[in-house]
């Protein structure tokens, strides 16, 4: 995703602390060529895929190659009161990587080793810079796979830090369910371990789950132990068109309520189908569409598919198209994979603002239909895709970055959507995290009391506020 | 489980703080008949199913009927620096409920309403005093069920607080995976909410998971939103005997590694089969045995069962016996349900000390076989049952409570077992929690750094150390 131009509403407060020269000298003395102050390197580490582009870059970038490197860098930051922001591949959508309070970036990209594969236990331990595609490549011979797929080829450190999920979460869960244990560098530069390789434990506070989703504000993850899954014996994919978004969503609700263990079920609205047809010449029916995937034994997959087909038929679903070979599956999923690029191309020069609400599935139709009506009424072009099995969906408002009015319209739609999702018992962010963009929404969602508890934990574990400060909530 | 007589090694440090008369007066003024200082009531709330019996009871018991009651009681405790211990049905095995630092007990048993059933979303919101059997009774008409089954008919508050699990966890996860959101009374008597009813969220720190397993030391749970599951279309149960524990365990490992979604797989060793035969006249083959349950569609269950039967046959499993009706299933599971009572009966006057280690499944055979050899060599009678699909198992050492030597032998076996489990990458407690009994083991398992982080969180969220003080770790 290209970085959209900054919105007037979205200029974060910047209050960069001074980085003492003595600190920079100590950093260079310790890290030599592993430390860069070149502007181009700093700029590359001072932005992400969010709408924020007005924040000056960090003062230096350390390329960590070991847990020791991370611990030493954090200890120096602690000694000098300098902020430190962990960096994976920079695919955050919410401004997580921006140095709003200054400080340095720690690039964990060189810590990209798969440390231990335990096929018998269905676990793997990786360094944080390993990306999800790299991991699946390296474990291919074991017959196992790591299912979490947020779209981008993000690092497992970044995915853990933002509690990411994606298309497979409806069956396999999110990073919350799939991180078993961690090695963490704390704010004082100490190294601790959380969790074990055992599948379950009641041994004290769940520090693993506290770290997962803490967005680099409570510690820097230096090792991650993950659950793996046997590659399904059979995989089958299908697409199906529906007369309306409501019909598609009602089908999904019934599939989930019946307990069909569907592995993926993605909604694409008719706008997006039209955009994808234009972009990739797919000739798909220009109606809302579900893309589905079934994993299991050959008989199990057949049974799941039959059940879903029956349900879809009840709601007017038609033009079911099936694929079982990897090539055919890839072709069917083209529409989903190209949705973003097709949408961007549909309005030359536009930028997309992506939403991330998630609601209880019974409220999904209400939330979606009202939001679609509002977006239609606004006149702003948009695309709509969703991990609808989980109640999570993304509008992408396509706006002319040079038109402040359109920016206002997009932000207005986003605010209205989040307010609706919260009223319906949902969350402002299903999988992207809070970062800078959703700090206001988080207060609405969690309430002052819960935010106070988060702040109290942050202050206790990071008394100098050096770990990715200024994110999630104001201190 | 009857409370075993205290072991000499297991006398907890008691350092009860003074409870000011002004506090007791204020408590009675606020709660009237909802507050009791009768010795019999206090004694009933000052013990649990653990081996600890030497701790004086709390100074008073408040029977809370609402969140407001809990908040007001905690606010009074906060004002006077008085400890407060939440109480469900008293089925803790680890001393969680003992007033080692004095204070009062809050009995949540009257907060036993199912507040909201959302069948479309597969969620339910309950008060903490609802027990798991009550919940399943109240939601029966929805076609849904709550699978977590720790054996005892514990409250959902207690199960959340100890991160409980049990026989179904191999398929449905533990309380960690199945609590979606909470209402919590904090140490200052404020009421906060964590989580939403959405299936996933990346909205800030995971306070829900921090509270789950915190054993009443970070807050008192007053509402719990849980995941439910569709009742399986078909359920099939089976028992199968094996020539050795190793053969049984190796079968289970292969079943898990193949990804068979088995719902339950419990090991019973031959000692226990012999005890159960004597107790319930079952006439089972006196060999190690697996009890299994399969959930799914009729075809899916058949397929799972066939796969498992093939694997079992490879490892010498025989005498497969199947059951599909509820009555037949209950009969097959009699051996498991009666294991504890049969064991206790096998040695009149004995008490059982139960272990709770959990290891990565590839280490299960090693951990079990070495521990069985050690237990056999000790001469102490024991029973052995296990949620082996998760790598979790329980030895019950059957000792003469009047013989200090036997107590020492039992504690020695337990220490040796925990040390072995930790060496093999496991945990000292799969599902019972730390309480008083495992505080030493937790230090060995988590390490000083992680314990320090837990302590820092505890001090920050409960600065007066009034929430169930003296549990999990020393402060």
CB contact under 8 A, A163 and B206: yes
**pLDDT value of residue B12:** 82
| B461 vs A contacts (CB less than 8 Å) | 453, 456-457
Question: Considering A325, A346, A367, which residue would you say is the last residue of a domain?
Answer: A346
Alpha-carbon span B428 to B447, nearest angstrom:
13
Query: What distance in Å separates the CA atoms of residue A290 and residue A302, rounded to the nearest whole number?
Result: 18
Q: Which of A183, A192, A200 would best serve as a mutation to test chain B binding (most B beta carbons within 10 A)?
A: A200
Verify that B193 and B240 share a domain, yes or no: no
A453 → closest Cβ in B119, B201, B461 = B461
**Of residues B421, B419, B450, B430, the one with CA closest to residue B390:** B430
Query: Hey, what are A256's tokens?
Result: 């989930």
Q: Write down which residue in B230, B255, B277 finishes a domain.
A: B230
Q: Please report, for the domain that includes residue A210, its CATH number.
A: 3.30.465.10
Q: Is residue B462 part of a domain?
A: no
Q: Is the dihedral of CA B6, B12, B13, B15 positive or negative?
A: negative
Q: Output phi, psi for B191, to 5 deg.
A: -110, 120
**What is the reported pLDDT for B5?**
36
Share of chain A above pLDDT 90, in %: 87
Chain A nearest CA to B284, separation (Å): 31
Nearest-CA distance from A159 to chain B in Å?
11
| Closest residue to A205, CB basis, from B123, B214, B259 | B214
CATH of residue A238's domain is 3.30.70.2190
> How far is Cα B149 from Cα B164, in angstroms, rounded to an integer?
8
Residues 6+ apart with CB under 8 A from A326: none
Name the residue of chain A whose CA is nearest to B120's CA: A362
Q: Give the separation between CA A111 and CA A154, rounded to whole angstroms.
A: 14
Reduced to 3 states (helix: H, G, I; strand: E, B; else coil), residue A22 is: helix
CA B370, CA B417: separation in Å to the nearest integer?
A: 9
Does residue A165 form part of some domain?
Answer: yes
Tell whether B186 and B245 lie within a shared domain: no
Structure tokens belonging to residue B202: 């990346």
Which residues have a Cβ under 8 Å from the Cβ of B47 and sit 6 or more positions away?
B3, B53, B55, B57, B90, B97, B98
What does each of the 475 residues of chain B score in pLDDT, given as a tens digit?
Answer: 333 333 434 678 899 999 999 999 999 999 999 999 999 999 999 999 887 778 999 999 999 999 999 999 999 999 999 999 999 999 999 999 999 999 999 999 999 999 999 999 999 999 999 999 999 999 999 999 999 999 899 999 999 999 999 999 999 999 999 999 999 999 999 999 999 999 999 999 999 999 999 999 999 999 999 999 999 999 999 999 999 999 999 999 999 988 899 999 999 999 999 999 999 888 899 999 999 999 999 999 999 999 999 999 999 998 788 988 888 888 888 888 889 899 999 999 998 889 999 999 999 999 999 999 999 999 999 999 999 999 999 999 999 988 999 989 999 999 999 999 999 999 999 999 999 989 999 999 999 999 999 999 999 999 999 999 999 999 8
CB contact under 8 A, B118 and A362: yes
Tell whether B222 and B320 lie within a shared domain: no
Our CA-based measurement puts residue B278 at a distance from the nearest CA of chain A, in whole angstroms, of: 33
Q: Are B96 and A233 in contact (CB under 8 A)?
A: no
For residue A166 the two structure tokens come to 């994606």
Nearest to A432 among B202, B229, B460 (CB): B202
Task: State whether A449 and B425 contact (CB < 8 Å).
Answer: no
Residue A235, φ and ψ in degrees, nearest 5:
-130, 135
Which of A142, A183, A201, A219 is the best substitution to test chain B (most B C-beta atoms within 10 A)?
A: A201
A150, A194, A199: best to mutate for the B interface, most B CBs within 10 A: A199
Q: Which residues pair with B235 in a beta bridge?
A: B295
Same domain, B220 and B243: no
Cβ distance A194 to B427 less than 8 Å, yes or no, reads: no
One DSSP character per residue, A82-96 reads: --EEEESSS--SSST
Interchain CB distance below 8 Å, B194 and A446: yes
Q: If you measure CA to CA, which chain B residue comes closest to A219?
A: B453
* pLDDT for the residue numbered A331: 82
Q: For the residues of A423-443, what is the DSSP string, one character each?
A: HTT-BS-SSS--TTTTHHHHH
How far is A180 from chain B, CA to nearest CA, in Å?
A: 11
CA distance A25 to chain B (A): 29
Residues B203 and B291 in one domain: no
Structural domain contains residue B89: no
pLDDT at A199 over 80: yes
3-state secondary structure of B393: strand
Strands A264-268 and B179-185: unpaired
In this structure, the number of other CB atoms found within 10 A of the CB of residue B345 comes to 15
Report, as an integer, the average pLDDT of A173-185. 97
B120: closest CA of chain A, how far (Å): 6
Min CA distance, B189 vs chain A (Å)?
11
- Residue in B with minimal Cα distance to A258: B230
CB A377 within 8 A of CB A450: no
Full domain range(s) for residue A325 = 232-346
Q: What distances in angstroms separate CA B164 from CA A125, A312, B17, B121, one per listed residue?
A: 26, 38, 30, 23
- Give A278 to chain B, closest Cα distance, Å: 33
- CATH number of the domain to which B277 belongs: 3.40.462.10
Same domain for A278 and A300, yes or no, is: yes
For residue B306, the SS3 value is: helix
B206 to A169: CB separation less than 8 angstroms, yes or no: no
Query: Where a domain ends, among B423, B442, B468?
Result: B423
Interface with B, mutate which of A154, A205, A218 (most B CBs under 10 A): A205
Taking the CA of residue A350 and the nearest CA in chain B, the distance in Å comes to: 28
B4 contacts: CB under 8 Å, gap ≥ 6: B50, B51, B351, B352, B353, B401
CB contact under 8 A, B200 and A472: no
Residue A261 inside a domain? The answer is yes
Total residues belonging to chain A: 475
Binary contact (B362, A173; C-beta < 8 A): no
A142 and A126 belong to one structural domain: yes
Give the DSSP letter string of A79-145.
Answer: HHT--EEEESSS--SSSTT--TT--EEEE-TT---EEEEEGGGTEEEE-TT-BHHHHHHHTGGGTEE
Find the residue in B nearest to A428 (Cα): B203
Closest-CA distance of chain B to residue A91, Å: 16
Gap between the Cα atoms of B336 and B385, Å rounded? 8
Dihedral over Cα of B86, A447, B458, B71: its sign: negative
- Residue-level pLDDT at A10: 61
b/e code A173-196 from CB counts within 10 Å (16+ = b): bbbbbbbbbbbbbbbbbbbbbbbb
pLDDT at position A153 over 80: yes
Q: Position of tokens 């919410």?
A: A94
Domain assignment of residue A474, yes or no: no
Q: A396 φ, ψ to 5°?
A: -120, 105
Do A335 and A245 share a domain, yes or no? yes
**Residue B424 in contact with residue A174, Cβ under 8 Å?**
no
Query: How many contacts, defined by CB atoms under 8 Å, are there between A and B?
Result: 278
Interface contact A257-B162, CB threshold 8 A: no
| Strand-strand pairing, B264-268 and A234-241 | unpaired
Q: How does pLDDT run across A98-113, given as a tens digit for each residue? A: 999 999 999 999 999 9
Q: Under a CB-based contact definition with an 8 Å cutoff, are residues A420 and A414 in contact? A: no
DSSP H/E element including B117: strand B114-118
Indicate yes or no: CB of A459 within 8 angstroms of CB of B460: yes
Indicate yes or no: CB of A210 within 8 angstroms of CB of B210.
Answer: yes
Nearest Cβ partner for B206 among A200, A213, A359 = A213
Amino acid B10: pLDDT: 60
Contact B205 A186 (CB under 8 A): no
Assess whether pLDDT exceeds 80 at residue A319. Answer: no
| Nearest CB neighbour to A430, from listed B200, B428, B452 | B200
A395 φ/ψ sector (left φ>0, alpha ψ -120 to 50, else beta): beta
| Contact check, Cβ <8 Å, A122/B256 | yes
Answer whether residue A236 shows pLDDT above 70: yes
Which residue among B201, B204, B390 sits closest to A358, beta carbon to beta carbon? B201
Q: Which two tokens stand for residue A154?
A: 């993000």
Contact B361 A164 (CB under 8 A): no
User: Is A176–B300 a contact, with Cβ atoms under 8 angstroms apart?
Assistant: no
A372-426 confidence digits (pLDDT tens): 999 999 999 999 999 999 999 999 999 998 899 998 999 999 999 999 999 999 9
Q: Say whether B205 and A429 touch across the interface (CB within 8 A).
A: no
Quote the pTM value. 0.96
User: Which of A160, A221, A217, A220 is CA-nearest to residue A474?
Assistant: A217
* Tally of domains in chain B: 2
Residues A355/A417, Cβ–Cβ less than 8 Å: yes
A189 and A275 inside one domain: no
Residue A333 lies in a domain: yes
DSSP string computed for A149-196: --SS--BHHHHHHTT---TTHHHH--HHHHEEEEEEE-TTS-EEEE--
Residues A245 and A226 in one domain: no
DSSP H helical segments within B315-438, as ranges?
A: 326-332, 334-337, 339-346, 364-378, 404-423
* A201–B230 CB contact, under 8 Å: no
CA distance linking residue B86 with residue A156, whole number of Å: 38
CA distance A330 to chain B (A): 24
Distance from C-alpha of A283 to C-alpha of A268, rounded to nearest angstrom: 15
Q: Which residue has the higher pLDDT, A158 or A333?
A: A158
A212 assigned to some structural domain: yes
Asked if B454 and A207 come within 8 Å (Cβ–Cβ), the reply is: yes
Q: Do A358 and B191 touch (CB under 8 A)?
A: no
CA-nearest residue to B440 within chain A is: A203
Same domain, B195 and B262: no
Contacts of B218 in chain A (CB under 8 A): 205
- What's the pLDDT at B7? 42
Residues B256 and B402 in one domain: yes
pLDDT over 70 (residue A171): yes
- A271 within a domain of the structure (yes/no): yes
Separation in Å, CA A177 to CA A169, A227, A261, B425: 10, 8, 16, 19
Q: Using the beta-carbon criterion (under 8 Å), do B358 and A200 form an inter-chain contact? A: yes
What does the pLDDT average to over A137-149?
Answer: 96
Distance from CA of B224 to the nearest CA of A (A): 14
Q: Do A209 and B209 touch (CB under 8 A)?
A: yes
The SS3 call for residue B106 is strand
pLDDT at position B320 is 86
Which run of H or E residues covers position A330? helix A326-332
């Amino acid at each position: 995703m290209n970085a959209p131009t900054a919105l007037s509403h979205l200029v974060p407060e910047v209050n960069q602390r001074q980085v003492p020269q003595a600190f920079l000298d100590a950093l260079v003395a310790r890290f030599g060529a592993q430390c860069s102050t070149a502007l181009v390197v700093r700029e590359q580490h001072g932005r992400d895929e969010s709408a924020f582009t007005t924040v000056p870059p960090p003062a230096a970038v350390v390329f960590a190659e070991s847990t020791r490197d991370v611990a030493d860098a954090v200890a120096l930051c602690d000694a000098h009161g300098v902020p430190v922001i962990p960096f994976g591949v920079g695919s955050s959508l919410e401004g997580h990587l921006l140095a709003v309070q200054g400080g340095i970036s720690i690039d964990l990209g060189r810590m990209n080793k798969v440390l231990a594969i335990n096929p018998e236990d269905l676990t793997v331990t990786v360094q944080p810079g390993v990306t999800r595609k790299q991991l699946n490549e390296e474990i291919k011979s074991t017959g196992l796979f790591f299912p979490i797929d947020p779209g981008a080829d993000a690092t497992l450190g970044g995915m853990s830090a933002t509690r990411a999920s994606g298309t497979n979460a409806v069956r396999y869960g999110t990073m919350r369910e799939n991180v078993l244990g961690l090695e963490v560098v704390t704010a004082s530069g100490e190294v601790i371990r959380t969790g074990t390789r055992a599948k379950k434990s009641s041994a004290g506070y769940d520090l693993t789950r506290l770290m997962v989703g803490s967005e680099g504000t409570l510690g820097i993850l230096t090792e991650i132990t993950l659950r793996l899954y046997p590659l399904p014996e059979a995989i089958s994919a299908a697409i199906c068109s529906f007369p309306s978004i409501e019909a598609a969503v009602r089908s999904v609700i019934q599939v989930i309520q019946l307990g069909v263990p569907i592995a993926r079920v993605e909604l694409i609205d008719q706008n997006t189908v039209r955009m994808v047809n234009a972009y990739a010449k797919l000739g798909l029916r220009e109606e809302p569409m579900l893309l589905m995937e079934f994993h299991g034994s050959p008989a199990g997959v057949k049974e799941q598919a039959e059940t879903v087909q029956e349900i879809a038929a009840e709601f007017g679903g038609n033009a079911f198209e099936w694929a079982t070979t990897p090539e055919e599956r890839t072709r069917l999923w083209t529409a989903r994979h190209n949705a973003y690029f097709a949408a961007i191309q549909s309005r030359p020069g536009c930028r997309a603002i992506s939403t991330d609400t998630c609601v209880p599935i019974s409220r999904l139709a209400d939330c979606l239909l009202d939001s679609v009506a509002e977006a239609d009424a606004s006149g702003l072009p948009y695309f709509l895709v969703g991990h609808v099995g989980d109640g999570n969906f993304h509008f992408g408002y396509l706006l002319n970055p040079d038109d402040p009015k359109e920016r206002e319209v997009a932000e207005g739609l986003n605010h209205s959507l989040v307010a609706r999702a919260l009223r319906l018992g949902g969350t402002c962010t299903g999988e992207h995290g809070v970062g800078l963009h959703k700090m206001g929404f988080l207060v609405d969602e969690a309430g002052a009391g819960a935010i106070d508890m988060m702040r109290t934990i942050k202050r206790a574990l990071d008394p100098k506020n050096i770990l990715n400060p200024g994110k999630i909530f104001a201190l």
